[in-house]
């Protein structure tokens, strides 16, 4: 009887494990620098023209700096997700700007800067800073600091793409959306 019990225990354990619901699949990921951001030509005015032709909703800029822990978090945990990349690439042109960079950049008005002087001209002080520009080159949304997770970052994209930014702040929009999902 003891021998049968010893043989039966592993079998029962396997059956119990098989009956558990499957663990949720981790989101598919790939490198953010290669798949989230568009190739930056350094000419935001020309990018604006391209965004209009491609029927994009806005231009998205992420101001970052080398070694920024929150920037690294965003790239490794949010911007690397395929669902996030797909959503943002379909609706926006996405560019990274190094707040200390010496790379030349032309702003939406055609003025010449370096990435650093452009960042300073906009008053960007902390990283990451996320900004969205409408198709007239006007800043419409600015968020300073990391976004909690992919769901909230997608909600931010929806907030801009839907035009909700015209009548509310992101915090209020987020609160109303999370309240609706919890109802």
Q: What percent of the chain has pLDDT over 90?
A: 80
157-167: pLDDT as tens digits: 999 999 999 99
Set out the domains of the chain in order of their start, with CATH numbers: 27-163 (3.40.30.10)
Longest dimension (CA), the chain: 87
Mean pLDDT, rounded, of the chain:
88
Q: At residue 132, does pLDDT exceed 90?
A: yes
Question: DSSP state, 2?
Answer: H
Stated pTM of the model: 0.83
Res 18 pLDDT > 60? no
> What number is the average pLDDT over the span 33-56?
95
Polymer length of the chain: 183
The reply to whether omega before 172 is within 30° of 0 (cis) is no
Which spans in 25-169 are helix H?
A: 32-35, 44-53, 69-77, 82-91, 115-121, 150-161
* Residue 153 scores a pLDDT above 80: yes
pLDDT at 24 over 80: no
């Amino acid at each position: 009887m003891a021998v049968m019990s010893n043989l039966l225990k592993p079998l029962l354990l396997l059956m119990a494990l098989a009956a558990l619901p499957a663990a949720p699949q981790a989101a598919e990921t790939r490198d953010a620098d290669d798949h989230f951001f568009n190739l930056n030509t350094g000419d935001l005015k020309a990018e604006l023209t391209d965004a209009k032709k491609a029927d994009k909703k806005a231009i998205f800029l992420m101001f970052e700096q080398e070694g920024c822990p929150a920037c690294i978090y965003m790239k490794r945990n949010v911007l690397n997700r395929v669902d996030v990349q797909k959503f943002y690439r379909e609706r926006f042109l996405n560019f990274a700007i190094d707040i200390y960079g010496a790379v030349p950049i032309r702003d939406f008005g055609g003025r010449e800067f370096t990435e650093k002087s452009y960042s300073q001209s906009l008053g960007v002080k902390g990283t990451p800073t996320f900004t969205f520009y409408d198709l007239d080159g006007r800043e419409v949304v600015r968020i300073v600091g990391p976004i909690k997770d992919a769901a909230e970052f997608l909600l931010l994209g929806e907030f801009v793409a839907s035009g909700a930014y015209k009548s509310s702040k992101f915090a209020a929009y987020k609160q109303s959306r999370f309240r609706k999902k919890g109802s």
